[in-house]
Amino acid sequence: MHSEEIDRLAALDRLCLLSGKAHPVLDEITALAAELSEWPIAAISLVDLNRQVFVSKVGTTVEQTSRSASFCTHTIKNKSPLVVENALSDPNFATNPLVVGPPHIRAYAGFPLTQSQGWAVGTLCVIHNEPASLSADTRRHLTRLAVMTIEVLKREEVTAPGLRGLQQSITAERHRFIQGGAVKKGQSSGRSA
């Protein structure tokens, strides 16, 4: 594995978003992406070592896919938007399992979620089950939504370590409290003996 991929995965790990918890702001961005594109599926995906996880999605129940089949892997690799208007006629995707089988992707547009350090950790993407295109204006708007998504992710990155630290402090304090209670019980029973 290249050092750049190791650094990208470390940046992704710092986000702490692969847990499956709800993210209302991301859900609003995803819903807006679907409305702007007028495509039935929109998602915010994060791509880790072996899989792509949808941390927010509209129009699909799929939670994750393998990284090897992921269109978003191509988007993050190139760190630039990827638009596929007809996956069946695109030699890079015509035999992709997500094209020849469910969910039968025919059109895809992905916009990289690139952090300030330059690591593309995922995408804001829209998907159609029929060949389709996006206007230049819509592409521009989706690019802006991807930038907004990164801002939300930055906030998560800043708060996640703080929340982890707080959780560790609470756990340590709970341990001390339990230990202290056990010591006091031992002391009180020692006094009465």
In a domain, 98, yes or no: yes
Q: Cα–Cα distance between 47 and 57 in angstroms, integer?
A: 15
Distance CA 168, CA 183 (A): 22
Q: What is the CATH number of the domain that holds 147?
A: 3.30.450.40
Examine residue 174 and state whether it is found in any structural domain, yes or no.
Answer: no
Range of the domain at 118: 3-160
The total domain count for the chain is 1
| 107-153 pLDDT, tens digit each | 999 999 998 888 899 999 999 999 999 999 999 999 999 999 998 88
Query: Bigger pLDDT: 37 or 158?
Result: 37
In the predicted model, what is the mean pLDDT of residues 48-59?
A: 91
pLDDT band at 18 (very low <50, low <70, confident <90, very high): low
Asked whether the CA dihedral 141, 120, 155, 124 is positive or negative, the reply is: positive
Asked, for residue 151, whether it belongs to a domain, the answer is yes
Q: Give Cα 143 to chain centroid, integer Å.
A: 16
Q: Does residue 185 form part of some domain?
A: no
Strands (E), 59-105: 64-66, 82-84
* Residue 189 maps to a domain: no
